[in-house]
Amino acid sequence: MMTDVIKKKRLIFKILFYVFAVLVAVIVCVPFFWMFVTSIKSKGALMLLPIEWIPKDPTFDAYRKLFTIPNFGTSIINSFYISIIGTVLRLLFAAMAAFALTKIQFKGRGVIFGLYITALMIPAQTTFIPLFIVMGKLNLINNLNAFLFLQLFNAFAIFMMRQKMMTINDAYIEAATIDGASMWKVFFKIILPLCSGTLATLAILSFMELWNDYLLPLVLLTDRANYTLPLILNSMQGQYSNQYNLMMAGSLVSIIPILIVYIFAQKYFKEGLTVGGVKG
């Protein structure tokens, strides 16, 4: 008797769980579904009433046209350029800084780390005007390499790398230096491999941030030939207003690389979520 009641309770609970879980999933997915459906509609089918949930004549015209838009192809390359090279540089410089801040003793180490952490609190949204000016002085306006230079210092990445390196036993380093290894060799051959998990998590967060960024490219890039994918997408609003099949196809194309990384790097993503909280 008793077990029957419990079983029944469990079943009701399970059903409730799936009802709510599916409901939320539908809310999340409907906009994406709408994006996909729109992207395979012809221009004429966009303005049909009642609206077509499933297009009667699906077509890939929008995707074909997308790649004839001036600079669309280049913008994908530009986005990959700053996202991949930028990520590599960010990780390298952050790891170097964290190495100096944890494994080399010198006067003023605490002060430097304190200053770096303070920088975590300065959002880009408040400093993009003077950043534009500084980049102007460095001749880096309308230059994709500006985004590579910005990777010299990333407070969040340094903070994360420092957290990780503090857990590494100094005995490794001592053993290596006694054997005559230079600090660079210690850094590249011993420390970096031991940090691979954190590096992977940071790489994903960094790639995502650089790939999706809008404000800084908007401020720093002025010429269409240098636009990143988000900027080209944004500019399509003016040129192809109401051609939503084109804009939805473009949006879908822009999401795919991130989605692939997301699905294949689930493990590192999971770790990134909880640590990413520091950043907001």
Partner 1 sequence: MKQARTKGFRTALPFLLPSLAGFILFSILPIIGTLFISVTNWDGLSELTLVSDFPNFMEKFFVGFENYQRLFQSEVLYQALFNTLKFIVMYIPLMLVVSLCVAAILNNKVKGVGFFRIVYYIPVITSWVAGSLIWKWVLNPQYGILNSILSKFGIQGPQWLQSAKWAMPAIVLASVWKDMGYFGLMFLSGLQGINREYYEAASIDGANGIQKFFKITLPLLTPTIFFVLIISLINSFQIFPQVMIMTPNGGPGGSTMVMVELIYKYGFEYYEMGIASALSWILFVIIMLLTFVQMKFQKKWVNYDD
Site for partner 1 in 99-158 (CB under 8 A): 99-101, 103-109, 112, 115-116, 119, 121-123, 125-134, 136-138, 149-155, 158
* Window contacting partner 1 (CB under 8 A); options: 1-9, 54-62, 66-74, 268-276: 268-276
Q: Is 264 in the site for partner 1 (CB under 8 A)?
A: no
The CA distance from 8 to 24, in Å, is 25
Cα torsion 125, 127, 129, 133: sign = negative
What is the token pair recorded at 95?
A: 């790891």
Contacts of partner 1 in 8-27 (CB under 8 A): 14, 17-18, 20-21, 24-25, 27
Task: Assess 49 for contact with partner 1 (CB under 8 A).
Answer: yes
Least distance CB 230 / partner 1 (angstroms): 4
Shorter beta-carbon distance to partner 1: residue 133 or 225: 133
- Cα separation, 280 vs 278, whole angstroms: 6
User: b vs e for 73-89, b when ≥16 Cβ sit within 10 Å of the residue's Cβ?
Assistant: ebbbebbbbbbebbbeb
CA dihedral 9, 12, 14, 15 (to 10 degrees): 180
Residues 182-211 that bind partner 1 (CB under 8 A): 183, 187, 208, 211
With CB under 8 A as the contact rule, the residue among 31, 44, 110, 193 that binds partner 1 is 31
Beta-carbon contacts of 41 under 8 Å, excluding residues fewer than 6 positions away, are 52, 55, 58, 59, 62, 245
- For partner 1, the binding residue among 96, 117, 181, 200 (CB under 8 A) is 96
User: What's the min distance (Å) between Cβ of 208 and partner 1?
Assistant: 6
Q: Does 57 bind partner 1 (CB under 8 A)?
A: no
Least distance in Å: CB of 207 to partner 1?
10
Note whether 76 and 91 are within 8 A (CB).
no
Q: Give the count of beta carbons closer than 10 Å to the beta carbon of residue 17.
A: 10
Give the separation between CA 278 and CA 159, rounded to whole angstroms.
Answer: 10
Closest to partner 1 by CB, 9 or 64? 9
| Window of 61-69, 80-88, 195-203, 232-240 that interacts with partner 1 by CB under 8 A | 232-240
